[in-house]
Structure 1
């Protein structure tokens, strides 16, 4: 079997992303609504029906702008859809991607960018203390 036949399809990668949210999968409509709410300067909009066609595999060649808009929504690089892994996400990236979907977590990470190592250590210490106070790391070592 040729190597290209072994690679997961765009539909499979999209389906994995739609199902990546804990609790319940994203719906086509909510993804479409959020992409269109964010409407980038290039005028790209994505309909729920287009998302359904891409997920089902009935449409397999979206525009670059569409791929970029979908990738932006899910917090993955557009190249995710070109990679050869089963869902385009490395196992060690999965937890990070899931946590970065939370706007508050993303905000903390973005605001910490560029701080000195000493400042970052102080912030990590504060976060670790807050996690202990909220009993979030009782079943692991907190790292």
Structure 2
């Protein structure tokens, strides 16, 4: 079995751009990244240069550029060099992305208003739904449609 090839700097940068952004909106523009880096007092990096790094038109950025980009996105600079660090950060970013979803937040807040027994019932229901979804389609039993009286 072959190990996956290490991701390039550009691939990691593109991933962090696509993943780390405010709730209920898409990724930052390159100009927003440039302005955000400047607002944080980090070493300046132009939006055009970030674009070139993502598109692999430029490579081997200076450490100050890496530190500024990492600082803007709240990841350690090692994210761009060390695949083990990147894998750990990516797991955290995936969890963050799930919580960024306002519907998930609202659902979690409503569940936390329930008593312990009722929260356990909700967890059991979620487990049942996940088991159902994991079954091959041809082995699923048909669910009855909800009735609204």
CA RMSD of aligned residues (A): 3.3
- In structure 1, the partner of 2:17 is 18
What TM-score does the superposition give when structure 2 sets the normalisation length? Answer: 0.57
Structure 1 unaligned regions, length at least 5:
100-130
- The reply to whether residue 71 of structure 1 matches residue 73 of structure 2 is no
What TM-score does the superposition give when structure 1 sets the normalisation length? Answer: 0.59
What is the total number of aligned residue pairs between the two structures?
A: 103
Computing the radius of gyration over CA atoms, which structure comes out larger, 1 or 2?
2
Q: 1:98 to 1:75 in 2, by over 3 A?
A: farther
Structure 2 unaligned regions, length at least 5:
99-104, 113-118, 120-149
**Superimposed CA distance per residue, residues 50-79 of structure 1 (whole angstroms, 9 cap, x where no aligned partner):** 000111011111110110010000000000
- Work out the CA distance in 1 between the residues paired with 2:110 and 2:94: 18
- In structure 2, the partner of 1:35 is 37
- Work out the CA distance in 1 between the residues paired with 2:94 and 2:7: 21
- Work out the CA distance in 2 between the residues paired with 1:97 and 1:89: 14
Runs (4+) of structure 1 moved beyond 3 Å? 95-99, 134-141
Q: CA deviation at 1:92?
A: 3.9
Partner of 2:83, secondary structure, is coil
